[in-house]
Amino acid sequence: MAATAGAAAEIVREIAAVGAADLAAAVEPLRADCLRLARKVSLLTHLVAEVAEASSGEDGASEPEATAWVADLLLALQAARRFVALGRGPALHTGAADQDVNDKNIAVQFKYVTWQLQAALTNLPHNCFQISDEVQEEVDLVRGQLKREMEKKGALDLNIFSKIHDILAHHVDNVGSQSEEPNSQPETLPLENVSSDHLELQHVALLISEISGISKSDIKKITSELIEELENTTVAVSAKPTNGDGQTSDEAKDSPDKVKKSDTVAMPEDFRCPISLDLMRDPVIVSTGQTYERAFIQRWIDGGNRTCPKTQQKLQNLTLTPNYVLRSLILQWCEEKGIEPPTRSKYEGSSVEVGEDRLAIEALVRNLSCSSLDERKSAAAEIRSLAKKSTDNRMLLAESGAIPALVKLLSSKDPKTQEHAVTSLLNLSIYDQNKELIVVGGAIVPIIQVLRTGSMEARENAAAAIFSLSLIDDNKIMIGSTPGAIEALVELLKSGSSRGRKDAATALFNLCIYQANKVRAVRAGILSPLVQMLQDSSSTGATDEALTILSVLVSHHECKTAIAKAHTIPFLIDLLRSSQARNKENAAAILLALCKKDAQNLACIGRLGAQIPLTELSKTGSDRAKRKATSLLEHLSKLQVL
C-alpha cells in the first residue's frame, strides 16, 4: 500500500504544478475546467502526504479497508491527470457543430472525474489513518467544491457513474493495467438494434472508459455489460440526479407519483436551453433573437465567442434581454404539470434593464483592453466608481466581462491604472456571486503582487480585496496556500499606513480562522507587529485588532507556544488594569488559553500580579469576562495549593 500511496502523492504534485501557461493551447471550457481541477487537487497535497506517512513503516496502516481506499483514490487521481492532459495537448481545430459536441463530451468526462474524486474523499476511512484536523478541513472543503462543480455541469444521473465505476474497477482488478494517455476523440463503436437511450448510455460509458484509461479493445465489452446492468435496474439517463454523497436528492425523495410525472412529461422544446438542453430558469434573448439560459450563454460569451451558438450568426452586440414572457410560460407549465419550477439564476432580479446603462458599461469594458493607456486608465477609474455605487452595477459589470479585463490590468506598469483595477475588483467582490468569478479568473496571484509592490493605496485596497474574497471558506485555503500571500499581509501590518495596517489586520484575522493559516501567519512573523500594536496606547483600534487576531491564533498549539515566547503576557496583564472593557475581556480570554495545561505560563501571570485585576474583572466585567477571569483565578488558586 505504501507504493500506491506514494504514486498518489506523485500525481497530486504533478497536477498541482499545472498552471495557466501549461493550458495556453486549450479552448474554453476545457481550459477553465482543467485549471479548477488542478487547484482542487493541489489542496490534497497534505492529505496524500499524511496517508503516505501512515502507510509506510512497520506500524503503517494495513487494513483491507485502507488498502482498498488508497487504490480507489489512486484511480481517481489517475483519471484527473488524464483529464488535465487533455488541456495540455494541442488544440483540436473543429467546426462550430463539432466543437459543441466536444464541449459536451468534455463536460461528461469532467463531471465523472469530479464525482470519482469526491466519492473517494467521502469514503476516507478516518480510523485507518492519522489525519490531522487541519487536513480534514481541507478534505471537507475540497469535497464541497467538487460537489458544486458536479451540480454546475447539469443533471446526469450519478447512479450511472456509480455503476460504470464498479464495472471499470472490476475490469482493472482483472486486467491490472490502464493506459495513461486519454484518447483525443471517442471511438465509434458498431451498434445494432439498440435504442436511443442505449446509444446515449454507450456514449457516456465510452467517454468515461477513455478518461479511466481503458483500452479501446475492452470498451465494447464494458459498455455491453453496463447496458445489461442498467436494464436490470431500470436506470435511465434522464433520471433525477443524486447528491454528491451518492444519496437521493430532496426532489427524488418526493412521492413516487410526483417523481414519475416530472420524469415522463414531455417538455416543450422552446422551454429548453439550446446549450444545456435543460429547462430554462432565466431565459434571455441575444441579438439574433434566439433564447438561452443566462448562465450558459454568458459562459459562452465569456469564453470569447461572438456568434450565436444555434444559428452561428455574428452577435451584433452582447446584450442579454430577459425573456419575461417565456419565463412566465415556463412557470405556468410547471404549475399545470405539477412539476417543481426552476429556481432563479444568480443574476435574475436586477432592476437594471437593457438600455443605455448596459451599453455604456459594455463600452467601458471594451476600453479596458484598448491600446491607449489613458483610455484604459480612464475606463478602470470609471468602473471603480460604478462598482462602488450599487449591486446592480456590480452584477452588470460582471455580466459584461469586466472581471477578466481588470485582472489583466493588475499587471499594468502604470501605478494609477493598477490601483484603479484592484479597487474595482474590491468593489465588485462586495457582490458574493462575483467572488467566485474573480478567483476563477486568476486574480489571487496578481492581487498579491499588487499587495507587495503597488502604491500604498493600491496595497491597502489589495488587502481589503483579499479580506472580501476570503469571506468564502474555500478561498481561505486557496489564498493562504498561495506563496507570499500571508507574508505580504504581515509586511503591510508592520510598515503600512494606518489604513493599510487596519486592512491587513482584518484580512489576516479572517484567513487565520482556517487552522493551517494560523501557523503560516506565525511563521511569517505576525507576532512582532501584534506585540507592537498591544503597546500602542495612542490607538485603541490597533490594540483591539491585535487582541482579536491573538484570540484566534492562540487556539493552535504551535501558535500558543510562540505567543508565550513573544513575551505577550506582561502586555496582556497591563491591559487587564487599564484598557477598555472589550479589550480586558479579550486579554483575559487569551491569558486563559495560554495558561490551560501550562503551569509555566500560569506561574508567570501569578508573579506579574494578575490576581488583583482579575479579581476586579470577575466582579465588574461582562458575563464572558467574568467567566474567563474566574476560571483563571481558580487555576491560580490550585497552583498556589500545589
In sequence order, which residues have a C-beta less than 8 Å from that of residue 119 and are 6 or more positions away? 76, 162, 165, 246
Q: Is 251 exposed, middle or buried (0-12, 13-18, 19+ CB in 10 A)?
A: middle
The residue type at 507: A
pLDDT band at 271 (very low <50, low <70, confident <90, very high): confident
Read off the pLDDT of residues 126-185 as tens digits, 9 standing for 90 and up.
777 777 777 777 787 788 778 777 666 554 555 667 666 666 666 555 544 444 445 444
For 342-369, what is each residue's pLDDT tens digit? 754 433 333 333 334 678 888 889 999 9
Place of cell 482493472: 172
C-alpha closest to that of 45 among 16, 83, 81: 16
pLDDT digits (tens, 9 = 90+) for 88-132: 766 655 555 566 777 777 888 888 888 888 888 888 887 777 777
Q: Which domains are assigned to the chain?
A: 1-156 (no CATH), 269-337 (3.30.40.10), 359-426 (1.25.10.10)
Average pLDDT, the chain: 78
Highest mean pLDDT pick, 49-53, 211-215, 466-470, 598-602:
466-470
C-alpha cell recorded at residue 390 = 450599487
Distance CA 257, CA 154 (A): 23
What is the CB neighbour count within 10 angstroms for residue 123? 14
Q: How does residue 21 score in pLDDT terms, banded at 50, 70 and 90?
A: confident
Q: Measure the CA–CA gap between 378 and 364, rounded to whole angstroms.
A: 9
State yes or no: pLDDT of 58 exceeds 60. Answer: no
DSSP-derived pairing of the beta strands 283-285 and 321-322: antiparallel
Q: What is the pLDDT of residues 403-427, one digit of tens each?
A: 999 999 999 999 999 999 999 999 9
* DSSP-based three-state secondary structure for 272: strand
Measured CA to CA, the distance from residue 500 to residue 462 in angstroms comes to 9
Q: Of 18, 163, 172, nearest to 86 (Cα)?
A: 18
SS3 string of 181-241?
CCCCCCCCCCCCCCCHHHHHHHHHHHHHHHHCCCCHHHHHHHHHHHHHHHHHHCCCCCCCC
